Amino acid sequence: MSAEGIHIHTRQSQTRVENEPAALNKASGTGTNSTPNPAEPTAAGLLTLRISRFAPHTGASQSQAQRSGSPFATRRSNPFASRRSPFAARTSTNRIHGRHWTQEYSLRVHGNETILDCLLEIQRHIDPTLAFRHSCGHGICGADAVTINGTAALLCTSSVAEYAVHPTGKRGTDASGFRRTATENDDGETPQANIRTPQDGCDIPDYGIIEIKPLAGFTVLRDLIVDTDRMMNQIRSLKPYLESAGHEDHVDKRMGEEHDMVEHLQRPEELERYERLTNCISCGICEASCPVYSGGEAFVGPAALITASRFINDSRDGQSTQRLQSIQTNDGINACQSIRACSRPCPQGIDVGEEIWRLVTEANERQ
């Protein structure tokens, strides 16, 4: 990225920051974590990142409160939820008191760069106080999940061209940061977004505004960093490991020591039942997309249910019945409303909603 005079805008003030071209220029024109794609736009353009910021007060303590589906609600959002559920204590929200504000950063980028590339550029050369998680940069670790333009996604797999203004004006946002929702006009043509291009007399095109917020339904620790401990504790509560049945009858007592000598054979069709579920990276995207989890209370969450399904469908596990009973509660699979919003954004291609529905069907068949 090259930026001669990058602008940093906040709601409180506007500050012009002059940077040396050599300090921000990248020879390739792409970020360190993105792979150039010939199909993507190659011309650099202006992009504004509108980022939700949060700084906790010094010495601020966390206050625990039950989550509510709406700030105006007079009753619990989930009528089946019970505070006596084993999941109830793990689905409360720890709120951290601090200062919230929105800050905008304008910089020059290429369409095939990732949002993570842009944030790294800001953190390294413009504002080192910006906080966000990232690790592998290739969509494997799941550490950099955030909300981009209202959709939960991974920073490292989301490109500028995917979420910014598109030349056709049929998706994304316009130059003012508004999403276009109008239908086609009388001529049968979709109104074009107000995109500044070189033909309009501008030096470079304008990619518009991309809004970035932390994952919904999670406690915000700082800026885009959220607390995922609650989600991980929910997964651990369902014992995410194999528990073999009858292994005590297969013990090798040679050399005075006992060793388990169990061999589990699987057919390809048995592996196929759960193989895709093993790809879950616990990024939290499905949980942030679920309106019951992110806006309700006392729901174990889609990520934990996917973990349970992975072992319930594993023929080597001897505790499938017990696992199914542990999630067949009012705050388990019964709290799922089958909206299936959790399926669409999964970066690993897992149909989360379908898997949960299969758990519901199997639980009903065993009754």
Give ∠ CA 308-282-269 in degrees, rounded to 5: 50
The topology (CATH level 3) of 6-60+97-213 is: Ubiquitin-like (UB roll) (3.10.20)
For residue 347, pLDDT over 80 is answered with: yes
189, pLDDT greater than 60: no
C-alpha distances (whole Å) from 207 to each of 16, 284, 321, 333 are: 20, 28, 53, 42
Average pLDDT, the chain: 75
Determine the pLDDT at residue 340. 92
CA–CA gap between residue 52 and residue 146 (Å, rounded):
11
Q: What are the extents of the domains in the chain?
A: 6-60+97-213, 228-244+268-366
| Whether domain 228-244+268-366 has CATH 1.10.1060.10 | yes
Task: Report the distance separating Cα 296 and Cα 82, nearest Å.
Answer: 12
* pTM value surpassing 0.85: no
pLDDT top residue among 37 and 340: 340
